[in-house]
Amino acid sequence: MNNRLEDRIAIVTGAAQGMGLAIAKALYTAGSRVAIVDIDEEKVTESAREIDNRNDRSMGRKIDVTNKAQIHGFLKEIRTAWGRPDILVNNAGGALRTPHLLHEIEEKDWDLVVDVNLKGTFLFCQAVIPEMAEMGRGSIINISALAAHWRASLAGVQYTAAKAGVEGLTRQLAHDWGKAGIRVNAVAPTVTITGERVRSLWEKKGKEEQKRVLSQIPLGRMSTPEEIASAVVFLASDESSYITGTTLDVSGGRYLR
């Protein structure tokens, strides 16, 4: 434990596995108590024990991030057990196994991706910000994607649009709540192999297409979940105390602006 976030209370959504779990582990290692939520009850419970097998500084709960009542019930539990949250990481989202070709995307696919990625981020921010404002401090990190301000590699327009919305939400909240001591930023990874589905989509591209994609990245490789988690810990910590309203690209230089 390196104590950068000692005595902080963090919430990470979509954290039963993959990038969310890597983020939760990094926050825990930095000294924070970590509450993780996910739609998969069995996995989120197991992952909370994996983070801290005594469950003194971790807890896992099944929460649908698009359900306002569930979010508020969960926050009440956090307050009772630990206190008010200092850190919120809105990681729940992704392409959610929906098609990426325009003609294959159905209305239900659009609704699912936009609701989980954008509405879920909004609802958690809306619930947590008043508590942070009462404390006069807080750091919110929204997980965006390179797709939000460039284009997607393994997902469709529903994902690109939802992540662009996340970045707009991030900027507006940073402007509106900065005077209350709340910082709101986003992290935008490029393609990161976070699970079997992403790995499968990547492998389907074939060797030549993979080589072409990697040639666009100055560092010449994909990122790891742990590298994304390191950026989140930085934005959650006091080391980034004068940074708000920004999107931090963690893309190996794939997008240069």
Residues marked as catalytic: 159
Beta bridge partners of 139: 87, 183
Q: Taking a C-beta distance cutoff of 8 angstroms, is the pair 248, 240 a contact?
A: no
Name the nearest CA neighbour of 228 among 250, 207, 211: 250
Number of Cα atoms under 13 Å in the Cβ half of residue 70: 12
